[in-house]
Structure 1
Amino acid sequence: MNNLGLIKCLSLAVGVFSAAANAASRIAVLDFELNDITSLPNTPLEVTRTASMAPLLIAALSRSGEYKIVAVDVASQKAANASFGYLFRFHDLAARLGQQQGADWVLVSQHSKPSYLFSYLWVYLIDVKQQAAVARYDIEMKGNHQKVTQHGIDTLAGKIQATLAISKH
């Protein structure tokens, strides 16, 4: 092989490896579960608020352009989640669900509401390869209107992005 052929081969190899290294992380964002332990739990307003959280998180993570969001249909998530909190507690099973969907990472989340005045976002970042949680996030939200929810989700997205920047596969 002449020098020109060798240079072309090396250039191609560098291009392939750098493209693989810079490939966007694939993240599966599961729906948030509502863990409402107030005296009047699971009101329609709170159920709707909680249902809005995964789409808000997907939008927040997508803004950077660094991640590919992997869709997990409701039926697949429901089938994998044998009961309330199952995927939240068993990270290896959440990782398997992510693996089936082609994800590198899975976010499993609960919206915990112990009071009418505040609630928490509890989230695990699961590494699909390790089949284990690599980070846990606890975000306190004081109040229950849309602006508070959006701020909590944006804070969560920032923390997830910081972890992923350190934990590149």
Structure 2
Amino acid sequence: MMYKTLSSSLLFCLLSFNLQAQTRIAVLDFELKDLTLAPGVPAELQRTASIKPLLEQELARAGYVIVAIPHQAQQAANSGVGYLFDHADAAAQLGKLYQADYILIGRLHKPSFLFAYLMGRLVKVDNGRLVGDYIAESKGPNASLTIKAVESLTTKIDHDLERHYSPPPPAKLVH
């Protein structure tokens, strides 16, 4: 009986350590940097807003713990458009408030009507250092292409961290 209790305690400790050891990532709302002749159209604003939840979903599938940072906290920390994207130290301070290990600052950069770039900067919260700058191209406004770009971004982020992610297989078309 004593061995059973001891082994149960040991198993509980190992499981607790595993839960504690999971990497915690905060993903901030993506900003739209639209350089086209018709910037900020509703469809682009909607696409930009869809990126964060899609990225959080993919990172969670890869085994990362997603840390929620309220929109108001992000707005309060952001001294202007692009500020957190350009200031890793300020983003790291925000991540510390919510006990994240990493914080990802993102931007949808749209230089043309034909394509856009999903850009992300991953910052290690404890030291404020940039871990990586990531870019994934999305040709056209199609939602499925945005999803593929998010999967590409997730692959690149995971490559620099734990290497657990593999994107889902392509969807099969039903005729």
The TM tier, using the shorter chain, reads 0.7 to 0.9
* Corresponding residue number in structure 1 for 2:64: 67
Distance 1:101 1:157, change over 3 A: same
Check if 1:44 corresponds to 2:42: yes
Q: Separation in 2 of the partners of 1:44 and 1:17?
A: 46
C-alpha distance after superposition, 1:36-87 (max 9, x if no partner): 01000000110001000000000111112x2110001010000000100000
Letter in 2 for 1:113: K
* Corresponding residue number in structure 1 for 2:103: 106
Report the TM-score when normalising by structure 1. 0.86
* Corresponding residue number in structure 2 for 1:27: 25
Check if 1:148 corresponds to 2:145: yes
- Structure 2 unaligned regions, length at least 5: 164-175
Q: CA RMSD in A?
A: 2.3
Check if 1:123 corresponds to 2:123: no
Q: CA deviation at 1:141?
A: 1.2
Q: CA deviation at 1:22?
A: 6.7
Q: CA deviation at 1:21?
A: 8.8
Check if 1:133 corresponds to 2:117: no
Secondary structure of the 2:157 match is helix
Letter in 1 for 2:58: A
Paired-residue identity, %: 43
Q: Give structure 1 regions of 4+ aligned residues with deviation exceeding 3 angstroms.
A: 15-18
Q: CA deviation at 1:120?
A: 0.4
Check if 1:96 corresponds to 2:93: yes
C-alpha distance after superposition, 1:18-37 (max 9, x if no partner): 92697211100000000001
- Paired residues in the alignment total 158
Deviating more after overlay: 17-26 vs 155-164: 17-26
Report the TM-score when normalising by structure 2. 0.83
Q: Separation in 2 of the partners of 1:161 and 1:82?
A: 29
Q: CA deviation at 1:17?
A: 10
Q: Separation in 2 of the partners of 1:124 and 1:19?
A: 28
Q: CA deviation at 1:148?
A: 0.6
Letter in 1 for 2:125: V
Q: Separation in 2 of the partners of 1:139 and 1:62?
A: 19
Of 143, 156, 160 in structure 1, the residue corresponding to residue 157 of structure 2 is 160
Q: CA deviation at 1:143?
A: 1.0
